[in-house]
Structure 1
Amino acid sequence: MNRKNEDRVQWVYSSKNNSELSERYDEWAKDYDKDLSEFFGWIAPNTASSYLAKYVNPDSTVLDAGAGTGLVGLALAERGFRNLTAMDLSEGMLQEAREKNVYKKLDQMILGDPLRYKTDSFDAVISVGVMTLGHAGPNSFNELLRITKPEGYIVFTIRTDVYLKNGFKEKQEEMESQKLWEVVDVSDEFHPLPIGEPEVLHQVWVYRVLN
């Protein structure tokens, strides 16, 4: 793999705060899709979208939380989903997503902060490649739960090591014990970046919101 592209990923992940993270994604936005496809073989958007489609009707309202350039939106559109909203912290990434013409609405917000959506706004939320180091932390689930309707679904990918070591396992189990959501599906471990980072393993989690 091109060393420049590997360094760019580490450069983004080493951002010290959300402002710096946004600026770095803005700079990467134009080349992001090409780099992720050519140098990393990024398959997580398609994998996660297939799981959401198992449980959610295509007519449903779906938030793509941390939408980036809209690769998840494209994968969902291919499965018949049309009521899609994109949310991301980077305006540059959202501009790339806008040009894909698969979202009805695009909003610049930060996952982990209070979101400007009303409670019970969406039938489902999907978040791919966002629950990870230097990005959204475990407490991001609080707002995703709030904006998802009862009996709606929250689908996300997470690195296996991050799940075990960075508070996600504890947070997810706490929310289960509080009867806030219930797990309905978990994928086997898979390689989301088989070309660029074949050692990295992800899983897709599917939760149903209870109240």
Structure 2
Amino acid sequence: MTTNQYLTDFYSHYDEDNRLAFKHGSVEFLTTMHYIEKYIKPDDRILEIGAATGRYSHALARRGYEVDAVELVEHNIEVFRSHTQTKENITITQGNALDLSAFPDNTYDITLLLGPLYHLYSKKDKQQALREAIRVTRPGGVIFAAYVISDSCILDEGFQRGQFNVAGYIRKGLIDPLSFDTKSEPKDLFELVRKENIDDLMSVFPVTRLHYVASDGFALCMREAVDAMDDDTFELYLKYHYATCEREDLMGISSHTIDIFRK
């Protein structure tokens, strides 16, 4: 199967909306929106690349922004369209993050690349997706690029929850037995990285990093405790998370991070 076929099969059966509906899942969404709100201005144009079912695109369109979205998987596009309200100034196009030739240079004020880098397995492809996102963003615009971080996945899904066998992954050559670096292929669906990998990807681009953010912090590792919080406790937890999500000593425990940079 090709990468696109693996993704189409996975997302045709995966409930992306439900993932973000639980308190622990909402931390990632709320954190990303928290940082978008730091930079977005009235009349800004937004492009979301790899929009999935449109959680971010619709949230921003309902606040009055003009949003264009690109999504690879037809099932996600159908769900995206079903969520569209008449007042939204929004478009959805089927396309690939590696080729945004349908979109002109220097057009968007805010560009969101919040999913595609999860599913690109070579440095060349990741940099091509980043290059395209940068190209369509106007000078001075801000790009948000999201990643899945390996150490949190090993600790939580491997050792804590037993969703995969760490020793088995080492035997298969997917986890290095000394450094615990990870290696993924399209059939694994998700590419897991560390911050040094992201720094290496970004080293070739003439952009300015504004923030590197642990977008869900420790929320997935303590998901049962987060989901059990009452609303007041959860609000306090979010305040703690926002206060600490850029601390370098806590970055590696996050399941997802966002690299935020200015063109």
Place the TM-score, normalised by the shorter chain, in its bin.
0.7 to 0.9
Report if aligned partners of 2:64, 2:89 keep a CA contact under 8 Å in 1. no
Distance, in Å, in 1 between the alignment partners of 2:104 and 2:118 is: 25
**2:106 pairs with 93, 109, 120, which one?**
120
Larger helix proportion, structure 1 or 2?
Answer: 2
Q: Is 1:67 the counterpart of 2:51 in the alignment?
A: yes
Q: Which runs of 5+ in 1 are unaligned?
A: 1-14
Among 61, 68, 79, the residue aligned to 1:96:
79
1:37 aligns with 2:21: yes
Q: Distance in 1 between matches of 2:197 and 2:58?
A: 31
Query: Given the two structures, how large is their TM-score scaled by the length of structure 2?
Result: 0.61
1:159 is aligned with what amino acid? V
Decide which of 210, 213, 217 is 1:184's aligned counterpart. Answer: 210
TM-score by length of 1: 0.74
Structure-to-structure mapping, 1:3-42, within 5 angstroms: 16-25=2-11, 27-28=12-13, 31-38=15-22, 41-42=25-26
> Unaligned 5+ residue runs, structure 2?
151-191, 227-252
AA in 2 matched with 1:151: G
Of 114, 117, 124, 1:131 maps to 117
2:260 to 203, 206, 211: 206
Distance (Å, rounded) in 2 between the aligned partners of 1:160 and 1:50: 20
Structure with bigger gyration radius = 2
Q: Does 1:146 align with 2:146?
A: no
Using a 3 Å threshold, how does the CA distance of structure 1 residues 35 and 51 change in structure 2: closer, same or farther? closer
Task: Give the letter for the 1:140 counterpart.
Answer: A
Question: CA shift at 1:39, angstroms?
Answer: 9.8
On the 8 A contact 2:51/2:115 being kept in 1, the answer is: no
- Structure 1 residue 143: deviation in Å? 0.4
- For the structure 1 residues 133 and 86, does the alpha-carbon distance in structure 2 shift closer, same or farther, using more than 3 Å as the test? closer
* Number of residue pairs aligned between Structure 1 and Structure 2: 187
1:50 aligns with 2:34: yes
- Secondary structure of residue in 2 paired with 1:131: helix
Identical columns (%): 21
- Give the aligned partner of residue 171 of structure 1: 201
1:159 to 142, 148, 152: 148
Q: Contact 2:20–2:29 at 8 Å: present in 1 too?
A: no
